[in-house]
Amino acid sequence: MGDKSCIIFVGAPYPIRFGDQFRGRCIVFRDGKRQDDIHFPCLQRFMVDLEHPRQLERVPARSRDQVKIRLHLTQAEALDWEKHRRAIIEECRRRDLELCGLEIRVVKSDRMKSLTIQRTTRKVPPTEALRAFCEQEKVDPELAELGQTILEEP
């Protein structure tokens, strides 16, 4: 057996960090000379900045790829954060993408300067605010009742 086989591992042949942009491979050397590159399908990890959930459609991800998303919204748009979150989750499900992180970033915009914001305030009793919150977040009825009891204590 005069054949001297040696395997040297340097790095990973697939993306490690979100945002890595290289095509993974293994390089084969024989007798000190480069013989071949071996490419194999593996997941990709995308770090994506969006201004609207629909932009996720343009990300060149394949089924089972992983994404982390930063959604940049104006203060006015951030009021609909939950709607945007649900749209992103649904799009990831539809495309079979693994959503590994989702964050909102509120940005200042010239559009915001032109908005006329009318503020209407009304005083809401704490028990009513809690009831509305529990209803919106689908809080367990027993827990909601406990919260109401605590608020009603003197």
Q: What are the structural domain ranges in the chain? A: 124-154
Strand, coil or helix: 50: strand
**Residues linked to residue 106 through DSSP beta bridges, in sequence order:** 73
When the pLDDT of each residue in the chain is averaged and rounded to a whole number, the result is 80
Q: Is the pLDDT of residue 84 over 80?
A: yes
Q: At what angle do helices 126-137 and 141-152 cross, to 10 degrees?
A: 170
- Give dist(CA 104, CA 77) in Å, integer: 11
Is residue 120 predicted with pLDDT exceeding 50? no
CA distances from 113 to 36, 53, 75, 79, 90 (A): 58, 23, 11, 17, 32
How is residue 17 written in tokens?
Answer: 């960090």
State whether residue 128 is helix, strand or coil.
Answer: helix
Alpha helices in the chain (DSSP H): 75-78, 81-95, 110-114, 126-137, 141-152
pLDDT of residue 76: 86
Instruction: Read off the tokens for 28.
Output: 């084969």
Task: Out of 7-11, 13-17, 30-34, 58-62, pick the least confident.
Answer: 7-11
- C-alpha dist (Å) from residue 67 to 86, 105, 126, 133: 15, 17, 39, 30
Contacts of 34 (CB under 8 A, 6+ apart): 27, 28
